[in-house]
């Protein structure tokens, strides 16, 4: 039985390829040993056909298995172009809203004692937007909110530019502010997006929660 395996970010660079067909794979847990990349890294996740899956899941002919390193940190939208706060706010406007809370994540020049030149973001497109939508649906269950919008950059992001913009509208400010904070925290933990810091003298993929 043949399945397609996809790698991202640091795993892709480590293997030297991004997509490959493997034969004789019956379960998700069989994928990593078949790659020949050494011990399995901590925090690794898997997705089958763009849905998170456990190692014991059985595979079918033609399945796509994504091997996902720890994620860094719609509408739910990915964009290679500069983000607009006004556009995100416009998407969540509602007659029910008494407040719109926003978050803009920007690229800083100093990180962990190093001078950053720029960032590079990579995403598992298709799945990333789906996970953003799942986050929004969960937040709507938890808080009294009207709408949520999340836009995230891909590719190169210069110092001072926005990498992510989130807007949440709600009848009351408490729910808007709390949901906005939860949205960015959850996004950094769950959405398959990876950040590479390119700094003076080197570069590094940054993992979960960064």
Contacts of 77 (CB under 8 A, 6+ apart): 129, 150, 151, 152
Nearest to 138 by CA among 182, 204, 72: 182
| CA atoms of 7 and 63, how far apart (whole Å) | 14
Q: Are strands 45-48 and 51-53 parallel, antiparallel or unpaired?
A: antiparallel
53: tokens are: 């899956």
Q: CATH code for 2-68?
A: 3.10.20.30
| 13: confidence class by pLDDT, cuts 50, 70, 90 | confident
pLDDT, residue 113, reads 86
Contact call for residues 159 and 119 (beta carbons, < 8 A): no
| Mean pLDDT value across residues 83-103 | 93
pLDDT, residue 73, reads 40
Please state whether the predicted TM-score (pTM) of the whole model is above 0.95.
no
Q: Is the pLDDT of residue 209 over 50?
A: no
| 130: confidence class by pLDDT, cuts 50, 70, 90 | confident
Instruction: State the CB neighbour count (10 A cutoff) for residue 129.
Output: 20
For the domain with range 76-206, which CATH number is right: 3.40.50.2300, 1.10.150.20, 3.40.1440.10, 3.90.1170.40? Answer: 3.90.1170.40
104: tokens are: 């803009």
Largest CA distance in the chain: 57
In the chain, domain spans: 2-68, 76-206
pLDDT tens figures, 149-162 = 999 999 999 999 99
């Amino acid at each position: 039985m043949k399945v397609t395996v996809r790698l991202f970010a640091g795993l892709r660079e480590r293997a030297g390829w991004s997509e490959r067909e493997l034969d004789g794979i019956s379960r998700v847990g069989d994928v990593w040993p078949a790659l020949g990349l050494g011990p399995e890294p901590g925090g690794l996740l898997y997705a089958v056909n763009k849905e998170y899956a456990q190692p014991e899941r059985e595979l079918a002919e033609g399945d796509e298995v994504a091997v996902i390193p720890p994620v860094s940190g719609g509408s739910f939208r990915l964009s290679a172009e500069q983000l607009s706060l006004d556009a995100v706010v416009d998407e969540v406007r509602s007659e029910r809203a008494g407040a719109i809370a926003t978050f803009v994540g920007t690229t800083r020049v100093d990180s962990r004692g190093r001078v950053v030149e720029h960032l590079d973001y990579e995403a598992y497109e298709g799945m990333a937007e789906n996970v953003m939508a799942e986050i929004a649906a969960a937040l709507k269950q938890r808080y009294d909110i009207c709408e949520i919008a999340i836009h995230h950059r891909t590719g190169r992001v210069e110092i001072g530019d926005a990498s992510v913009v989130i807007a949440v509208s709600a009848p009351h400010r408490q729910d808007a502010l709390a949901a906005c904070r939860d949205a960015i925290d959850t996004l950094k933990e769950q959405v398959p997006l990876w950040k590479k810091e390119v700094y003076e003298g080197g570069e590094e993929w940054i993992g979960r929660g960064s």
